[in-house]
Amino acid sequence: MKNSPSLDPVGTSLLRVKDRPDRQSCLEELNSNESWRFLIGFWERFSDLHNFNMTLLGVYANGQTFGQDTIIHRDNKTHPGFTVIVFCNEYWPTSWGGELVFYDDNKENIVKAVLPKSRRVVIFDGRIPHAARSPSVKCDQVRMTLVFKTVIKE
């Protein structure tokens, strides 16, 4: 991985899952990138606190504005793992929307929605279908998240 992050339509992919062999940790790459090295400390403290036995596959910084809904997707399709999402905005009124929405297995019904709140962390099974709704037209900020994608160690 190059030291400069690549851009995708909804944000910056710091360490992409698909750039490494299957289920290989991204911690070494993260440590070699001076701009993003601070995330290792966060991840280690978070993992110790929750006693995770996970391999960190990728780290993403996402930003969304009005009209940038993501598609319904699963982060883990073949191997079980968790996704950890950190909402980064200091201020986010409920009227701005931007919910993280979870669906049933058929992707037909919403089963849960989580509003962005400052420093809120959401941990979920990456096999659950989900999508990020864009902020409302009245929102004058970018909806920012850090996302950690994992797989359970064998």
Domains and CATH numbers, the chain: 6-152 (2.60.120.620)
- The per-residue pLDDT for 80 is 92
Q: Is the pLDDT of residue 8 over 80?
A: no
Q: Is the pLDDT of residue 144 over 70?
A: yes
- The per-residue pLDDT for 19 is 56
Q: Is the pLDDT of residue 134 over 60?
A: yes
Q: Is the pLDDT of residue 52 over 90?
A: no
Q: What is the mean pLDDT of residues 62-73?
A: 93
The residues facing 63 across adjacent strands are 144
| Arithmetic mean of pLDDT over the chain | 85
Q: What is the mean pLDDT of residues 41-48?
A: 85
The answer for residues whose C-beta is within 8 angstroms of residue 129's C-beta and 6 or more apart is 72, 73, 74, 102, 103, 104, 105, 107
Q: What is the mean pLDDT of residues 11-33?
A: 68
Q: What is the mean pLDDT of residues 72-97?
A: 94
For 1-10, 46-55, 127-136, which range has the lowest pLDDT when averaged over its residues? 1-10
